[in-house]
Amino acid sequence: MLLQRCTDKMRLMTAMLLALLLLAGCGGSAGVKNAAVPQQTAGALSDGDNSELAPVIPAGALTLFEQAAAAMAAGDFVDAELRFKEFLLQYPEYPGAHVNLAIIHASNGNDAATRSSIDSALALDPAHPAALNQMGMLLRRNGKFLEAEAAYMKAVTVAPEYALAHYNLGVLNELYLQRLETALQHFQIYQSLVGEDKQVAKWITDLTRRVAANQRTANVAD
């Protein structure tokens, strides 16, 4: 049963990642609430309110980034990787492009390249929420659960409405750290941010039941 729940969560996480990967745009470290196509800055979507502080990008380069993001969203990671790398040759200072490359490398199982791309993004913006979220995912895959938690928590600290990091904290706390109450809190935050997610709603119902059962057991023991 636990194995099936873990498998289900990992599948949903993958689907969510593909749906939200464009949020790894070039914005600053603020929230991702008002994601929108930027007019003068690179990034398929802006993941922060400070994107207007970034240098102006020529239309040709912006088009290249958008083409890379579109290829990535379509699942053509080979083409997307080539286009992001071409973009970064011209504009290496954009953390979002490095984050998107990290996602591509992670999908290929290349942890070393994933870490390198994340490090490049965080060197440019140490509080970049999407980069911190990717760092957490990498650390979790490598069994470094407390370090993963720290990365996710920094992501939601700088971007409280970054739903995917709350989802990842829910998964981490339930399946790996066995902190059911904390997992429940993060799944509830995620649900409040993205709207009704039927699968997560089922997990919230189950966790609510399990947390209540644990509390009853603790009261009896006292």
Residue scoring higher pLDDT (219 or 162): 162
pTM: 0.77
Q: What is the mean pLDDT of residues 44-50?
A: 30
Tokens for 22, please give them. Answer: 């464009």
pLDDT, tens digit, 9 for 90 and up, residues 59-84: 777 888 999 999 999 999 999 999 99
Q: Are 140 and 148 in contact (CB under 8 A)?
A: yes
Give the CA count within 13 Å in the CB-facing half-sphere of 23. 27
Give the per-residue pLDDT at 222: 63
Total number of residues shown for the chain: 222
Buried b / exposed e over 122-140, threshold 16 CB at 10 Å, is bebbebbbbbbbbbbbbbb
Among the residues of 128-197, which ranges form H helices?
129-141, 145-158, 163-171, 180-194
Is the domain spanning 2-216 CATH 3.40.50.720? The answer is no
Tokens for 180, please give them. Answer: 């059911």
Distances (CA, A) of 157 to 14, 16, 29, 79, 129: 23, 21, 10, 34, 9
Among the residues of the chain, which ranges form H helices?
2-20, 59-73, 77-90, 95-107, 111-124, 129-141, 145-158, 163-171, 180-194, 198-221
Mean pLDDT of the chain: 80
